[in-house]
A = this chain, B = another copy of it.
Amino acid sequence: MSQSLPAYAESDFTLLDRYWRAANYLSVGQIYLMDNPLLREPLKPEHIKPRLLGHWGTTPGLNFIYAHLNRAIRQRDLDMIYVCGPGHGGPGMVANTWLEGTYSEIYPQVSDDAVGMQRLFKQFSFPGGIPSHAAPETPGSINEGGELGYSLSHAFGAAFDNPDLVVPCVIGDGEAETGPLASSWHGIKFLNPRRDGAVLPVLHLNGYKIANPTLLGRASDDDLHQLFSGYGYEPLFVCGDDPQKMHPLMAAALDSALDRIRAYQQQARNGSDAVTLPRWPMIILRSPKGWTGPKTVDGKKVEDFWRAHQVPVANCRDDEGHREILEQWLLSYQPDTLFDEQGRLKPELRALAPEGDKRMGATPFANGGRLRRELVTPALADHAIAVARPGETQAQSTEILGRYLSALFAQNQDNFRLFGPDETASNRLTPVFDVTNRTWMEAIKPYDEQLASDGRVMEILSEHQCQGWLEGYLLTGRHGLFNCYEAFIHIVASMFNQHAKWLKVSRSLPWRAPVASLNYLLSSHVWRQDHNGYSHQDPGFIDHVANKKADIVRIYLPPDANTLLWVGDHCLKTWDRINVIVAGKQPAPQWLTLDAAVKHCEAGMGSWPWAGNEHAGSEPDVVMACAGDVPTMETLAAVDLLRQYLPDLSVRVVNVVDLMALQTQQQHPHGKAEAEFDALFTRDKPVIFAFHGYPSLIHRLTYKRNNHRNFHVRGFMEEGTTTTPFDMTVLNELDRFHLAQEAILRVPGLAEKHGDVLDTLAEKLAEHHRYVREYGEDLPEVQGWKWPSQRGEGAPE
Contacts and interface: CB of A to CB of B under 8 A. Distances in A.
Instruction: Across the A-B interface, give the 7 residue pairs with the lowest CB-CB distance, nearest first.
Output: A227-B230, A146-B535, A179-B179, A182-B182, A226-B230, A490-B494, A131-B533
Given A174-B461, A182-B182, A462-B178, A724 B127 contact: yes
User: Which interface residue of A214, A227, A494, A544 has the most chain B CB atoms within 10 A?
Assistant: A494
Interface string A480-512: 000000011011011001100100110000000
A463 to B, nearest CB: 8
7 contacts: A127-B773, A178-B183, A182-B183, A213-B440, A497-B540, A543-B547, A696-B700
B775 A723 contact: no
A544 B723 CA distance: 26
B133 A461 contact: no
A180 interface: yes
Contact of A703 (B186, B225, B703): B703
Interface stretch (A215-223, A363-371, A633-641, A744-752): A215-223
Given A209-B422, A227-B227, A699-B703, A53 B531 contact: yes
Given A148-B461, A493-B544, A773-B127, A132 B51 contact: no
Given A230-B224, A700-B700, A179 B177 contact: no
A164 interface: no
A177 B461 contact: yes
A26 B324 CA distance: 77
A488 B127 contact: no
A443 interface: yes
Nearest to A489: B494
A184 interface: yes
Nearest to A438: B212
Contacts of A699: 699-700, 703
A132 B179 contact: no
Nearest to A716: B547
A133 B231 CA distance: 30
B531 A51 contact: yes
A146 B777 CA distance: 23
Contacts of A334: none
Interface string A111-145: 00000000000000111111111010000000010
A718 B445 CA distance: 50
The number of times this chain is found in the oligomer is 2
Contacts of A659: none
Interface string A321-354: 0000000000000000000000000000000000
Given A177-B461, A490-B493, A131 B721 contact: yes
A686 interface: no
A534 interface: yes
Contacts of A287: none
Contacts of A426: 210-211
A482 B221 CA distance: 32
A103 interface: no
A689 to B, nearest CB: 14
Interface string A420-442: 00111110000000000010101
Interface in A42-70: 49-51, 53
Contacts of A464: 178-179
B451 A213 contact: yes
Size class of the A contact interface (CB-based, 8 Å): 35 or more
B700 A443 contact: no
Interface string A542-560: 0110111100000000000
A696 B423 contact: no
A305 interface: yes
A229 interface: yes
A80 B386 CA distance: 59
B177 A186 contact: yes
A250 to B, nearest CB: 23
A718 B700 CA distance: 17
B179 A178 contact: yes
Interface string A527-539: 0000111111010
Contacts of A775: 50
A301 interface: yes
A448 B460 CA distance: 39
A501 B718 CA distance: 8
A175 interface: yes
A425 B183 contact: no
A214 B708 CA distance: 50
Contacts of A608: none
A443 B451 CA distance: 44
Contacts of A451: 212-213
Contacts of A491: 147, 149, 493-494
A196 interface: no
A501 B776 contact: no
Contacts of A218: 442-443
A443 to B, nearest CB: 6
Contacts of A422: 174, 209-212
A378 interface: no
Given A211-B426, A426-B210, A536 B179 contact: no
Interface string A163-192: 000000000001101111111111001000
A410 interface: no
A783 to B, nearest CB: 10
Nearest to A130: B722
A128 to B, nearest CB: 4
Contacts of A445: 213
Contact of A223 (B135, B215, B230, B494): B230
A651 interface: no
Nearest to A771: B127
A772 interface: yes
A230 B461 CA distance: 22
Contacts of A494: 488, 490-491, 493
Contacts of A696: 546-547, 700
A727 interface: yes
A228 to B, nearest CB: 7
Given A147-B487, A175-B461, A210-B426, 5 more contacts: A127-B727, A132-B533, A146-B535, A226-B230, A230-B230
Contacts of A544: 493, 540, 543-544
Contacts of A126: 722, 776
A181 to B, nearest CB: 7
Contacts of A225: 230
A53 to B, nearest CB: 5
A461 to B, nearest CB: 4
Given A535-B501, A700-B699, A461 B423 contact: no
A465 interface: yes
A254 B100 CA distance: 59
B215 A131 contact: no
A182 B536 CA distance: 22
A758 interface: no
Contacts of A723: 127-128
